[in-house]
Amino acid sequence: MQLPCGTFSTTYEFDKAIIKTRAHWIVLALAITLAFAFPTFSHPYLIHVVNFVFISIIAALGLNILSGCAGQISIGHSAFMAVGGYTSAVITYTLGASFWLALPCAIVAAGLVGLIFGLPSLRLKGFYLLLSTLAAQFIIVYIVAHLDITGGLAGIDVPYAQLGNIVFNTDKSFYYIILVVLILATFCARNLVRSKVGRAFIAVRDNDLVAEVMGVSLFRYKLLAFFIGCCYAGAAGSLWAHWHGYVCPEQFSLMMSVWLLGYIIIGGMGTTVGPFLGTILVLGLTEGLSTLVTGLGTTYPHLLDIIAPLKDLIFGIMLALFLILEPRGLAHRWYMMKSWYSLFPFSY
Protein backbone atom coordinates (compact mmCIF):
# COMPACT_ATOMS: atom_id res chain seq x y z
CA MET A 1 0.00 0.00 0.00
CA GLN A 2 1.95 2.95 -1.29
CA LEU A 3 0.64 6.46 -0.88
CA PRO A 4 2.16 9.49 -2.55
CA CYS A 5 4.63 11.43 -0.43
CA GLY A 6 2.91 13.52 2.22
CA THR A 7 -0.41 11.65 1.96
CA PHE A 8 -1.40 9.63 4.99
CA SER A 9 -4.43 7.54 5.85
CA THR A 10 -6.12 9.11 8.81
CA THR A 11 -9.46 7.31 8.60
CA TYR A 12 -10.44 3.80 7.64
CA GLU A 13 -12.71 5.27 4.96
CA PHE A 14 -9.73 6.95 3.39
CA ASP A 15 -7.61 3.86 3.78
CA LYS A 16 -10.01 1.69 1.83
CA ALA A 17 -10.73 4.25 -0.88
CA ILE A 18 -9.44 3.35 -4.32
CA ILE A 19 -8.89 6.91 -5.48
CA LYS A 20 -7.20 8.88 -2.75
CA THR A 21 -5.69 12.08 -4.07
CA ARG A 22 -6.86 14.95 -6.20
CA ALA A 23 -4.29 13.99 -8.84
CA HIS A 24 -5.89 10.56 -9.11
CA TRP A 25 -9.32 12.10 -9.67
CA ILE A 26 -7.94 14.41 -12.34
CA VAL A 27 -6.20 11.57 -14.13
CA LEU A 28 -9.37 9.48 -14.00
CA ALA A 29 -11.52 12.34 -15.31
CA LEU A 30 -9.06 13.01 -18.10
CA ALA A 31 -8.88 9.34 -19.04
CA ILE A 32 -12.68 9.04 -19.23
CA THR A 33 -12.99 12.27 -21.21
CA LEU A 34 -10.31 11.06 -23.58
CA ALA A 35 -12.07 7.72 -23.96
CA PHE A 36 -15.35 9.46 -24.84
CA ALA A 37 -13.62 11.86 -27.24
CA PHE A 38 -11.60 9.11 -28.87
CA PRO A 39 -13.89 8.36 -31.89
CA THR A 40 -13.96 12.01 -32.92
CA PHE A 41 -10.29 12.15 -33.81
CA SER A 42 -9.43 8.53 -34.46
CA HIS A 43 -9.05 6.56 -37.69
CA PRO A 44 -12.17 4.41 -38.34
CA TYR A 45 -10.13 1.20 -38.46
CA LEU A 46 -8.63 1.99 -35.09
CA ILE A 47 -12.12 2.39 -33.62
CA HIS A 48 -12.98 -1.03 -34.98
CA VAL A 49 -9.93 -2.52 -33.28
CA VAL A 50 -10.64 -0.71 -30.02
CA ASN A 51 -14.22 -2.01 -30.02
CA PHE A 52 -12.88 -5.53 -30.26
CA VAL A 53 -10.34 -4.85 -27.52
CA PHE A 54 -12.99 -3.41 -25.19
CA ILE A 55 -15.36 -6.33 -25.68
CA SER A 56 -12.50 -8.72 -25.03
CA ILE A 57 -11.66 -6.81 -21.86
CA ILE A 58 -15.24 -7.15 -20.59
CA ALA A 59 -15.11 -10.90 -21.11
CA ALA A 60 -11.61 -11.09 -19.62
CA LEU A 61 -12.76 -9.15 -16.53
CA GLY A 62 -15.37 -11.84 -15.95
CA LEU A 63 -12.88 -14.64 -16.49
CA ASN A 64 -10.54 -12.85 -14.11
CA ILE A 65 -13.15 -12.91 -11.36
CA LEU A 66 -13.82 -16.58 -12.02
CA SER A 67 -10.27 -17.84 -12.59
CA GLY A 68 -8.05 -15.09 -11.24
CA CYS A 69 -9.92 -14.34 -8.01
CA ALA A 70 -11.91 -17.46 -7.25
CA GLY A 71 -9.33 -19.82 -8.79
CA GLN A 72 -11.84 -21.80 -10.85
CA ILE A 73 -9.99 -22.07 -14.14
CA SER A 74 -12.31 -22.11 -17.13
CA ILE A 75 -11.42 -22.73 -20.73
CA GLY A 76 -14.95 -22.42 -22.05
CA HIS A 77 -15.45 -18.73 -21.54
CA SER A 78 -16.23 -17.86 -25.15
CA ALA A 79 -19.07 -20.38 -25.04
CA PHE A 80 -20.72 -18.24 -22.38
CA MET A 81 -20.22 -15.27 -24.67
CA ALA A 82 -22.10 -17.34 -27.23
CA VAL A 83 -24.94 -17.82 -24.73
CA GLY A 84 -25.09 -14.06 -24.24
CA GLY A 85 -24.82 -13.30 -27.93
CA TYR A 86 -27.49 -15.77 -28.97
CA THR A 87 -29.86 -14.83 -26.17
CA SER A 88 -29.57 -11.24 -27.25
CA ALA A 89 -30.01 -12.19 -30.90
CA VAL A 90 -33.07 -14.33 -30.31
CA ILE A 91 -34.71 -11.72 -28.10
CA THR A 92 -34.18 -8.87 -30.56
CA TYR A 93 -34.56 -10.70 -33.88
CA THR A 94 -37.14 -13.37 -33.13
CA LEU A 95 -39.11 -11.67 -30.39
CA GLY A 96 -38.55 -8.15 -31.67
CA ALA A 97 -37.60 -6.63 -28.32
CA SER A 98 -35.09 -3.84 -28.01
CA PHE A 99 -31.37 -4.15 -27.33
CA TRP A 100 -31.78 -2.45 -23.96
CA LEU A 101 -33.95 -5.32 -22.76
CA ALA A 102 -31.87 -7.96 -24.51
CA LEU A 103 -28.59 -6.96 -22.87
CA PRO A 104 -29.67 -7.65 -19.27
CA CYS A 105 -31.45 -10.82 -20.37
CA ALA A 106 -28.26 -11.99 -22.10
CA ILE A 107 -26.24 -11.27 -18.96
CA VAL A 108 -28.58 -13.26 -16.74
CA ALA A 109 -28.94 -16.11 -19.25
CA ALA A 110 -25.18 -16.53 -19.55
CA GLY A 111 -24.87 -16.45 -15.76
CA LEU A 112 -27.50 -19.16 -15.36
CA VAL A 113 -25.89 -21.41 -17.97
CA GLY A 114 -22.61 -20.74 -16.17
CA LEU A 115 -24.16 -22.07 -12.97
CA ILE A 116 -24.89 -25.39 -14.66
CA PHE A 117 -21.36 -25.76 -16.00
CA GLY A 118 -19.99 -24.59 -12.67
CA LEU A 119 -21.47 -27.59 -10.86
CA PRO A 120 -18.43 -29.84 -11.56
CA SER A 121 -16.28 -27.29 -9.71
CA LEU A 122 -17.75 -28.55 -6.44
CA ARG A 123 -15.87 -31.80 -6.99
CA LEU A 124 -13.05 -30.90 -9.36
CA LYS A 125 -10.07 -28.61 -9.08
CA GLY A 126 -7.33 -27.30 -11.32
CA PHE A 127 -6.66 -29.18 -14.54
CA TYR A 128 -9.61 -31.52 -14.02
CA LEU A 129 -11.96 -28.58 -13.78
CA LEU A 130 -10.28 -27.10 -16.84
CA LEU A 131 -11.24 -30.18 -18.82
CA SER A 132 -14.82 -30.11 -17.61
CA THR A 133 -15.19 -26.48 -18.67
CA LEU A 134 -13.82 -27.50 -22.06
CA ALA A 135 -17.00 -29.55 -22.31
CA ALA A 136 -19.01 -26.33 -21.99
CA GLN A 137 -17.21 -24.94 -25.02
CA PHE A 138 -18.16 -27.90 -27.22
CA ILE A 139 -21.64 -28.57 -25.86
CA ILE A 140 -22.85 -24.97 -26.08
CA VAL A 141 -21.40 -24.28 -29.50
CA TYR A 142 -22.79 -27.61 -30.76
CA ILE A 143 -26.24 -26.75 -29.45
CA VAL A 144 -26.39 -23.28 -31.01
CA ALA A 145 -25.10 -24.71 -34.29
CA HIS A 146 -27.90 -27.28 -34.43
CA LEU A 147 -30.97 -25.46 -33.16
CA ASP A 148 -33.47 -23.90 -35.54
CA ILE A 149 -34.12 -20.91 -33.36
CA THR A 150 -30.43 -19.98 -33.43
CA GLY A 151 -30.21 -20.34 -37.21
CA GLY A 152 -27.87 -23.33 -37.26
CA LEU A 153 -24.41 -22.95 -38.75
CA ALA A 154 -25.42 -19.87 -40.71
CA GLY A 155 -26.29 -17.96 -37.56
CA ILE A 156 -28.83 -15.15 -37.42
CA ASP A 157 -28.93 -11.48 -38.20
CA VAL A 158 -29.16 -9.23 -35.20
CA PRO A 159 -30.89 -5.86 -35.42
CA TYR A 160 -28.76 -2.93 -34.42
CA ALA A 161 -29.34 -1.20 -31.12
CA GLN A 162 -31.60 1.83 -31.26
CA LEU A 163 -32.22 4.73 -28.91
CA GLY A 164 -34.94 7.09 -30.16
CA ASN A 165 -33.81 8.05 -33.62
CA ILE A 166 -30.20 7.06 -33.14
CA VAL A 167 -29.23 3.71 -34.64
CA PHE A 168 -25.98 2.28 -33.37
CA ASN A 169 -24.97 0.65 -36.62
CA THR A 170 -21.42 1.92 -37.04
CA ASP A 171 -18.20 1.22 -35.18
CA LYS A 172 -18.15 4.80 -34.07
CA SER A 173 -21.64 4.93 -32.57
CA PHE A 174 -21.51 1.48 -31.00
CA TYR A 175 -18.19 2.40 -29.43
CA TYR A 176 -20.07 4.50 -26.88
CA ILE A 177 -22.30 1.64 -25.76
CA ILE A 178 -19.29 -0.62 -25.34
CA LEU A 179 -17.44 2.07 -23.44
CA VAL A 180 -20.28 2.64 -20.98
CA VAL A 181 -20.65 -1.08 -20.35
CA LEU A 182 -16.89 -1.39 -19.93
CA ILE A 183 -16.78 1.40 -17.37
CA LEU A 184 -19.66 -0.13 -15.39
CA ALA A 185 -18.06 -3.57 -15.60
CA THR A 186 -14.73 -2.27 -14.35
CA PHE A 187 -16.41 -0.36 -11.53
CA CYS A 188 -18.25 -3.47 -10.35
CA ALA A 189 -15.23 -5.75 -10.72
CA ARG A 190 -12.97 -3.42 -8.75
CA ASN A 191 -15.53 -2.99 -5.98
CA LEU A 192 -16.11 -6.71 -5.80
CA VAL A 193 -12.51 -7.56 -4.91
CA ARG A 194 -12.47 -5.19 -1.95
CA SER A 195 -15.68 -6.56 -0.44
CA LYS A 196 -16.66 -9.56 1.61
CA VAL A 197 -17.51 -11.50 -1.55
CA GLY A 198 -14.16 -10.77 -3.18
CA ARG A 199 -12.27 -11.81 -0.08
CA ALA A 200 -14.31 -15.01 0.07
CA PHE A 201 -13.42 -15.71 -3.59
CA ILE A 202 -9.70 -15.26 -2.90
CA ALA A 203 -10.02 -17.38 0.22
CA VAL A 204 -11.52 -20.18 -1.87
CA ARG A 205 -8.68 -19.82 -4.38
CA ASP A 206 -5.87 -19.75 -1.83
CA ASN A 207 -7.07 -22.38 0.59
CA ASP A 208 -10.52 -23.80 0.06
CA LEU A 209 -10.56 -26.13 3.07
CA VAL A 210 -9.66 -23.34 5.47
CA ALA A 211 -12.11 -21.00 3.80
CA GLU A 212 -14.82 -23.49 4.70
CA VAL A 213 -13.69 -23.63 8.33
CA MET A 214 -13.82 -19.81 8.36
CA GLY A 215 -17.45 -19.91 7.32
CA VAL A 216 -17.29 -19.58 3.54
CA SER A 217 -19.73 -21.96 1.89
CA LEU A 218 -17.78 -23.46 -1.00
CA PHE A 219 -20.96 -24.51 -2.79
CA ARG A 220 -22.29 -21.00 -2.71
CA TYR A 221 -19.15 -19.05 -3.53
CA LYS A 222 -17.83 -21.32 -6.27
CA LEU A 223 -21.18 -21.15 -8.05
CA LEU A 224 -21.40 -17.43 -7.40
CA ALA A 225 -18.01 -17.01 -9.06
CA PHE A 226 -19.24 -18.93 -12.08
CA PHE A 227 -22.40 -16.86 -12.18
CA ILE A 228 -20.61 -13.51 -12.05
CA GLY A 229 -17.85 -14.56 -14.43
CA CYS A 230 -20.36 -15.81 -16.98
CA CYS A 231 -22.54 -12.69 -16.57
CA TYR A 232 -19.58 -10.67 -17.80
CA ALA A 233 -19.16 -13.09 -20.70
CA GLY A 234 -22.86 -12.69 -21.46
CA ALA A 235 -22.53 -8.91 -21.60
CA ALA A 236 -19.52 -9.23 -23.90
CA GLY A 237 -21.37 -11.70 -26.12
CA SER A 238 -24.44 -9.50 -26.40
CA LEU A 239 -22.33 -6.47 -27.31
CA TRP A 240 -20.45 -8.58 -29.82
CA ALA A 241 -23.67 -9.69 -31.52
CA HIS A 242 -25.11 -6.20 -31.82
CA TRP A 243 -21.83 -4.74 -32.94
CA HIS A 244 -21.41 -7.18 -35.83
CA GLY A 245 -25.10 -7.33 -36.65
CA TYR A 246 -25.09 -11.12 -36.79
CA VAL A 247 -24.05 -14.13 -34.77
CA CYS A 248 -22.79 -17.50 -35.94
CA PRO A 249 -21.23 -20.41 -34.04
CA GLU A 250 -17.78 -19.86 -35.54
CA GLN A 251 -17.38 -16.53 -33.76
CA PHE A 252 -17.15 -18.24 -30.39
CA SER A 253 -14.23 -20.56 -30.92
CA LEU A 254 -12.07 -22.52 -28.53
CA MET A 255 -9.16 -20.30 -29.58
CA MET A 256 -11.00 -17.32 -28.22
CA SER A 257 -11.48 -19.05 -24.85
CA VAL A 258 -7.80 -19.93 -24.78
CA TRP A 259 -6.87 -16.35 -25.58
CA LEU A 260 -9.14 -14.95 -22.88
CA LEU A 261 -7.25 -17.10 -20.41
CA GLY A 262 -4.04 -15.90 -22.05
CA TYR A 263 -5.02 -12.25 -21.59
CA ILE A 264 -5.50 -12.60 -17.85
CA ILE A 265 -2.35 -14.70 -17.38
CA ILE A 266 -0.23 -12.19 -19.29
CA GLY A 267 -1.95 -9.28 -17.59
CA GLY A 268 -1.77 -10.71 -14.10
CA MET A 269 -4.40 -13.00 -12.62
CA GLY A 270 -6.56 -11.73 -9.79
CA THR A 271 -5.95 -8.03 -10.45
CA THR A 272 -8.52 -5.76 -12.01
CA VAL A 273 -5.93 -3.96 -14.11
CA GLY A 274 -4.55 -7.26 -15.42
CA PRO A 275 -7.27 -7.99 -18.01
CA PHE A 276 -6.80 -4.47 -19.40
CA LEU A 277 -3.04 -4.71 -19.74
CA GLY A 278 -3.06 -8.28 -21.05
CA THR A 279 -5.78 -7.73 -23.64
CA ILE A 280 -4.29 -4.47 -24.87
CA LEU A 281 -0.83 -5.97 -25.11
CA VAL A 282 -1.82 -9.13 -26.97
CA LEU A 283 -4.31 -7.54 -29.34
CA GLY A 284 -2.05 -4.52 -29.79
CA LEU A 285 0.83 -6.79 -30.75
CA THR A 286 -1.34 -8.75 -33.17
CA GLU A 287 -2.61 -5.61 -34.85
CA GLY A 288 0.79 -3.95 -34.89
CA LEU A 289 2.48 -6.94 -36.48
CA SER A 290 -0.33 -7.30 -39.05
CA THR A 291 0.02 -3.65 -40.02
CA LEU A 292 3.76 -4.04 -40.26
CA VAL A 293 3.52 -7.16 -42.42
CA THR A 294 0.95 -5.57 -44.73
CA GLY A 295 3.15 -2.49 -45.03
CA LEU A 296 6.26 -4.50 -45.78
CA GLY A 297 4.28 -6.72 -48.14
CA THR A 298 3.22 -3.82 -50.34
CA THR A 299 6.74 -2.36 -50.39
CA TYR A 300 8.53 -5.66 -51.02
CA PRO A 301 5.95 -8.01 -52.59
CA HIS A 302 8.55 -10.70 -53.30
CA LEU A 303 9.30 -11.04 -49.55
CA LEU A 304 5.68 -11.55 -48.49
CA ASP A 305 6.04 -15.35 -48.47
CA ILE A 306 8.76 -15.06 -45.85
CA ILE A 307 7.34 -12.20 -43.78
CA ALA A 308 3.81 -13.48 -43.36
CA PRO A 309 4.71 -16.68 -41.47
CA LEU A 310 7.34 -14.75 -39.51
CA LYS A 311 4.55 -12.69 -38.00
CA ASP A 312 3.19 -15.61 -35.98
CA LEU A 313 6.68 -16.64 -34.98
CA ILE A 314 7.58 -13.19 -33.67
CA PHE A 315 4.25 -12.98 -31.89
CA GLY A 316 4.87 -16.28 -30.15
CA ILE A 317 8.41 -15.36 -29.15
CA MET A 318 7.32 -12.02 -27.75
CA LEU A 319 4.60 -13.61 -25.64
CA ALA A 320 7.02 -16.24 -24.35
CA LEU A 321 9.49 -13.50 -23.46
CA PHE A 322 6.81 -11.57 -21.60
CA LEU A 323 5.90 -14.58 -19.55
CA ILE A 324 9.53 -15.38 -18.75
CA LEU A 325 10.47 -11.83 -17.82
CA GLU A 326 7.23 -10.98 -16.02
CA PRO A 327 5.77 -14.22 -14.67
CA ARG A 328 3.50 -12.35 -12.26
CA GLY A 329 1.90 -10.53 -15.16
CA LEU A 330 2.03 -6.99 -16.39
CA ALA A 331 -0.03 -5.90 -13.38
CA HIS A 332 3.04 -6.46 -11.21
CA ARG A 333 5.07 -4.14 -13.40
CA TRP A 334 2.19 -1.66 -13.21
CA TYR A 335 2.20 -1.69 -9.40
CA MET A 336 5.95 -1.17 -9.37
CA MET A 337 5.54 1.81 -11.66
CA LYS A 338 2.82 3.19 -9.41
CA SER A 339 4.92 2.85 -6.30
CA TRP A 340 7.87 4.50 -8.08
CA TYR A 341 5.60 7.37 -9.04
CA SER A 342 4.14 7.63 -5.52
CA LEU A 343 7.51 7.87 -3.87
CA PHE A 344 9.17 10.05 -6.48
CA PRO A 345 11.74 11.60 -6.03
CA PHE A 346 12.84 9.14 -3.32
CA SER A 347 13.79 5.57 -4.11
CA TYR A 348 11.95 4.10 -1.12
Partner 1 sequence: MAAGKTDEAMLRVEELSLRFGGVQAVLSLSFEVRQGEILALIGPNGAGKTCVLNCINGFYRPQKGNIYFEGQDITSFPPHKIAEQSIGRTFQNIQLYSGMSVLDNLMAGRHNHMKENILTAMIHFGWVHQEEVKHRKQVEDIIDFLEIEAERYKPVGMLPYGTRKKVDLGRALALEPKLLLLDEPMAGMNVEEKEDIARYILDIVEEREGTVLLVEHDMGVVMDIADRVIALDFGELIGEGSPAEIKANPSVIEAYLGKVE
Interface ranges with partner 1 (CB under 8 A)? 1, 12-13, 15-16, 187-189, 191-192, 194-200, 202-203, 205-207, 209-218, 224, 228, 270
Quote the Cα angle for 108-111-112, to 5°: 90
For partner 1, give the closer residue by CB, 17 or 153.
Answer: 17
| 149: DSSP letter | T
265 and 246 Cβ atoms separated by less than 8 Å: no
Three-state DSSP at 43 gives coil
Query: Which of 89, 145, 135, 118 lies closest to 230, judged by CA?
Result: 118
For partner 1, give the closer residue by CB, 172 or 190.
Answer: 190
Residue 149 CB, shortest distance to partner 1, in Å, is: 31
Other beta carbons within 10 angstroms of residue 70's beta carbon come to 28
Residue 148 CB, shortest distance to partner 1, in Å, is: 35
For partner 1, give the closer residue by CB, 16 or 146.
Answer: 16
Instruction: Provide the Cα torsion 205, 210, 214, 218; round to 10°.
Output: 50
* β-bridge partners, 162: 167
CA atoms of 310 and 316, how far apart (whole Å): 10
86 and 241 Cβ atoms separated by less than 8 Å: yes
Residue 124 CB, shortest distance to partner 1, in Å, is: 18
Q: How far is CA 318 from CA 256, 295, 315, in A?
A: 19, 20, 5
100 and 231 Cβ atoms separated by less than 8 Å: no
For partner 1, give the closer residue by CB, 90 or 103.
Answer: 103
Residue 9 CB, shortest distance to partner 1, in Å, is: 10
Three-state DSSP at 327 gives coil
Three-state DSSP at 25 gives helix
For partner 1, give the closer residue by CB, 96 or 215.
Answer: 215
For partner 1, give the closer residue by CB, 1 or 313.
Answer: 1
Residue 50 CB, shortest distance to partner 1, in Å, is: 25
Residue 215 CB, shortest distance to partner 1, in Å, is: 4
Residue 198 CB, shortest distance to partner 1, in Å, is: 7
Other beta carbons within 10 angstroms of residue 18's beta carbon come to 11
Residue 34 CB, shortest distance to partner 1, in Å, is: 25
CA atoms of 18 and 32, how far apart (whole Å): 16
For partner 1, give the closer residue by CB, 89 or 228.
Answer: 228
Query: Which of 225, 253, 223 lies closest to 237, judged by CA?
Result: 253
For partner 1, give the closer residue by CB, 175 or 221.
Answer: 221
**Dihedral sign from CA coordinates of 9, 10, 14, 20:** negative
194 and 65 Cβ atoms separated by less than 8 Å: no
- What is the amino acid identity at position 102? A
For partner 1, give the closer residue by CB, 98 or 217.
Answer: 217
Residue 164 CB, shortest distance to partner 1, in Å, is: 27
